[in-house]
Amino acid sequence: MGKAGKQYVMLVEDEDAIRLTLRDYLQSRGLPVLVASDGVGAIKHLLDYDIKVIVSDYRMEVFGGEYWIKFMKKYCQDIHIVVTSGFLRPEFTIPFEVIYKPFDFQDIAERIGQLFEQ
């Protein structure tokens, strides 16, 4: 799948400024990145590419939130997943690592890099 077995980081974020700026930052650090603005676009990438790490916003207008989390838990068991949110609080049960917004691009890039190397 994808280009000759290449693995990718996929950013799923409905806020253009965050999605595109983080994509550019990660690419500048040598990571192959795909982007989607919602869960539907993300599923298309999951079908077409070998995704190693998903970094996904929790709250998105189109296929986000609880059902996106349920989908990833059921169908993305072999993928490292990090959920980002300015909405979630620690008392919400999410089966993935959560990084709260606002986050520092360098910190999240280091975490993504660690997961990508695993």
- pLDDT, one tens digit per residue, over 55-70 is 999 988 888 888 999 9
**Best CATH choice for the domain 7-117 from the list 3.40.50.410, 3.40.50.1360, 3.40.50.2300, 3.10.129.10:** 3.40.50.2300
- pLDDT, one tens digit per residue, over 26-40 is 999 999 999 999 999
N-term to C-term CA, the chain: 20
Report d(CA 99, CA 82) in Å as an integer. Answer: 7
CA 117 to chain centre: 16
